[in-house]
Structure 1
Amino acid sequence: MRIRFQLIVFMLLRTILNTAHRMVYPFLPIFARGLGVDISTMSLLMTVRSLIGVTSPLFAPIADRRGRKFGMLLGALVFTLGVGLVAIHPSIWTLAAALILAVLGKYMFDPSMQAYFGDRIPYTQRGTALAVTEVAWSMSFILGVPLMGFLIAKFGWSAPFPVLAVLGLLVFITIWRIVPQADPHHELTADSRGGYLAVFSSKPALAGVSIALWASAGNELVNVIFGVWLENSFGLKIAALAGASAVIGISELSGEGLVAFTTDRLGKPLALTLGLAGNALASILLPIIGQTQTGALIGLFLFYITFEYVMVSHIPLMTELIPSARATMLSLNVTGHSIGRALGAFLAAIIYQRLGFVFVSLAAVVFNLVAILALRRMQKG
């Protein structure tokens, strides 16, 4: 019962962290106008944010050496500091610092939390359990982003940041209270290099990390551009963009539900294959059915439900590749996501401005197909 309660609490806490991470995508044009910069500048900023995730292996040993609770508390503290900077002095520089610190905090928090539950929950049930915590990803778009959109429309582009700073403190306090200091499920490690060597000497582990890279690159192409595409195509404004975000959130919630009911039954590799193939198909359909506003939202629904199925099926698979260095493995998996998102963010504006949205979608198809090849390589290993 205690684990079930903690899964629900952590889902709510991660909704706060994910809202700060995700609200930039639909409101990218609004942030750009508020700061007096163009879309290319914001796309570059998103690329830098994603590249920061490459540093996540530097923090990987924290949860293995100092404990899961310490890693989560440090992540919450760094996140709160980041969003607090914009609350104090809104500018392009504090926004850049906020995005970087918030994502660093998230990259400390998430592997520590996933390792915490990975230590306690059997592998055969882990897909369902971690799917509960991943509901936070969709809830940030269903509840968090529309709320941030309301604040932006009423008070200006920087209005969400004071609210997020207060909520960040709430995350810190909650973890301090509900996570026990003593952890009989995890033995602290003294040697950080052993964890790195275990991952880098494992071909299945490296192939698993590359799946995260390629899948995230394809997803980020659409992530960065969909707000701009909807605004340019249909003239959607803040409230409508927030509504589109809610549609995406509902699709992701559906994907997480599918994972909870099917991944452990199908087996993680088969579920991941189906998700990648489905996301490639949704990428092809997106510009075809996206000729109308309704069609575009349906296309985004299909794209995000399949991608969420990919991500949530992938996590439990990665938790069991290197059990002796679980947090290090998961943190390096975050690095794969980060490099992929940086690649996608860098290419998104270039492809969209020069070739149009059709080629953005086709590039997403290619990345998904490469991810399927990486999965096959992991299974052979």
Structure 2
Amino acid sequence: MSSVVQTSTASKTKSPHVGAAIFALAMGGVGIGVTEFTMMGLLKEVEQGLGISTPEAGHLISAYALGVVVGAPLLAAVGAKLPRKYLALGLMLFFTLANLTSYVAPDYGSMLVSRFAAGLPHGAFFGVAAVIAASLVSPTRRGWAISMVMAGLSVSNVIGVPAATWVGQTFGWRLLFLLVGGIGLLTLVLLWRYVPYQAPHPDASIRRELGALKRLQVWLAILIGIVGFGGFFATYTYIAHTMTLVAGIPGSLLPIVVALYGLGMVAGTVVGGRLADKSVMGTLYWVLPGIAVALVVYAVAVHWPWSALVMVFVVGASGSMLIPALQTRLLDASPDAPSLASSLNHAALNVANALGAFLGGLVIAWGWGFVAPALVGAVLAVLGFGIALTSGVLERKKPLAA
């Protein structure tokens, strides 16, 4: 990879509080992870509280994901001329207010709108957070810095989601949004205090940011995320059914299952960041086949409780290793439009969420059982590997522009 590209995408900004700044950015990821994933565990309470059916409750999750897909490129492009610190603050304020709106939403229609609104800043925030984090360290540590920001999302699955699920089940599901609002307010304080000011690029504009969409390598990186990461979500979406109905694990232990998955995500994100610092494309070449193997082993091991628990951790770790490499790849593919390119990774992951859940549900509906989504995921990972190889071949013929 060209050192010129690395330097252009992440010229180091001096800051006396690099660790605190990255922690502040990661805290935003914790809040985003709690609001995104806890809803899945509180669907039954949401159904009863709003008087709606299970499919209608599922649409609230879909509305959030749609908000991410729409908001990621739109808000990143619109905010191109803003200093990155102010853009991050504005997006987190938007996110916080949208979640507080969900707390007071009186009916299903208004809740649907508020969940869509809460998803809008998700991808754009992670996009600008990754760019800020990468700018605070040397080019050889970009993967690590990005992985630390993304770790907030993973940590939320270990601590925040189980805790928020318990609070929602015990004291009322709407308290989830108050909890997320509190995390959002804390994040705003930390961002204001520790993230350094960075003047926007003098040539920054919506047109410049949207120029990233003209590059084939950007689209290939997005496609790797959609297809390769789809298997992760195909498995995660139906993990509760698989653990209870196939592995025979009691439903009361599901919080432990979710926490193990989250711990795997934390470990995978950190390791993935280190690997991406050594070689971005090399990470993709090794991790995608690794995901396929992990999912096939999971499909076999899930028939016994202890081996199922081990593979829950492994699947969470293997899938999360992809995120820092994909984030860095998008920065390299579009150095003159980093915020938009970086935000597109999260739009891609939410499309992967929808794709994986749909295909996993499809094979279950066909009567193939709750193990089948993992095998579908293995196939998707292999297809993602094929796309990564194509991207690498094309790059050798036409290297990425500095």
CA distance in 2, matches of 1:75, 1:301: 32
Residue 94 of structure 1 deviates from its aligned partner by 4.6
Name the % identity: 20
Map 1:255-334 onto structure 2 (within 5 A): 255-265=268-278, 267-334=279-346
TM-score, length basis structure 1 = 0.89
The verdict on how the C-alpha distance between 1:85 and 1:351 changes in structure 2, with shifts beyond 3 A counting, is: farther
Q: Structure 2: 5+ residue runs without aligned partners?
A: 1-15, 395-402
Residue 18 of structure 1 deviates from its aligned partner by 1.5
CA distance in 1, matches of 2:131, 2:78: 12
Match of 2:64 among 24, 49, 53: 49
Q: Structure 1: 5+ residue runs without aligned partners?
A: none
Match of 1:84 among 68, 75, 100: 100
Match of 2:120 among 104, 115, 119: 104
Please tell me the residue identity of whatever aligns with 1:128.
Answer: W
* Structure 1 counterpart of 2:182: 166
* Structure 2 counterpart of 1:341: 353
Q: Is contact 1:21–1:99 with CA below 8 Å preserved after alignment?
A: no
Residue 304 of structure 1 deviates from its aligned partner by 0.9
Q: Which whole-Å deviations, capped at 9, do the CAs of 1:342-373 have from their partners, x for residues lacking one?
A: 22233333332333223211211121112111
CA distance in 1, matches of 2:140, 2:202: 25
* Structure 1 counterpart of 2:267: 254
Deviates more, 1:160-169 or 1:245-254: 160-169
CA distance in 1, matches of 2:358, 2:68: 15
Q: Which whole-Å deviations, capped at 9, do the CAs of 1:191-239 have from their partners, x for residues lacking one?
A: 3223323x233222211111111123222222222123334444744x5
Map 1:217-228 onto structure 2 (within 5 A): 217-228=230-241
Q: Is contact 2:284–2:325 with CA below 8 Å preserved after alignment?
A: yes
Q: Is contact 1:125–1:264 with CA below 8 Å preserved after alignment?
A: yes
Please tell me the residue identity of whatever aligns with 1:82.
Answer: A
TM-score, length basis structure 2 = 0.85
CA distance in 1, matches of 2:240, 2:341: 33
Please tell me the residue identity of whatever aligns with 1:218.
Answer: G
Matched residue of 1:65: which SS?
Answer: coil
Deviates more, 1:251-260 or 1:301-310: 251-260
Matched residue of 2:96: which SS?
Answer: helix
* Structure 1 counterpart of 2:34: 19
The verdict on how the C-alpha distance between 1:27 and 1:223 changes in structure 2, with shifts beyond 3 A counting, is: farther
CA distance in 1, matches of 2:110, 2:262: 28
Deviates more, 1:24-33 or 1:326-335: 24-33
CA distance in 1, matches of 2:67, 2:35: 16
Residue 108 of structure 1 deviates from its aligned partner by 2.4
| Number of aligned residues | 376
Q: Which whole-Å deviations, capped at 9, do the CAs of 1:311-342 have from their partners, x for residues lacking one?
A: 12221222222111111211233332232222
Query: Cα RMSD over matched residues?
Result: 2.4
* Structure 2 counterpart of 1:117: 133
CA distance in 2, matches of 1:292, 1:27: 27
CA distance in 2, matches of 1:27, 1:353: 23
* Structure 1 counterpart of 2:9: none
Q: Is contact 1:23–1:148 with CA below 8 Å preserved after alignment?
A: yes
* Structure 2 counterpart of 1:364: 377
Q: Which whole-Å deviations, capped at 9, do the CAs of 1:144-196 have from their partners, x for residues lacking one?
A: 0121122023213333222222222222232233334x424x41445322332
CA distance in 1, matches of 2:371, 2:121: 35
Match of 2:214 among 201, 210, 214: 201
Matched residue of 2:333: which SS?
Answer: coil
CA distance in 2, matches of 1:27, 1:230: 18
The verdict on how the C-alpha distance between 1:119 and 1:373 changes in structure 2, with shifts beyond 3 A counting, is: same
Q: Is contact 2:67–2:117 with CA below 8 Å preserved after alignment?
A: no
CA distance in 2, matches of 1:113, 1:22: 20
CA distance in 2, matches of 1:22, 1:360: 19
The verdict on how the C-alpha distance between 1:151 and 1:340 changes in structure 2, with shifts beyond 3 A counting, is: same
Deviates more, 1:349-358 or 1:310-319: 349-358
Residue 375 of structure 1 deviates from its aligned partner by 0.9
Please tell me the residue identity of whatever aligns with 1:324.
Answer: D
Match of 1:68 among 68, 84, 87: 84
CA distance in 2, matches of 1:280, 1:155: 40
- Relative contact order, higher structure (CA 8 A, sep 6+): 1
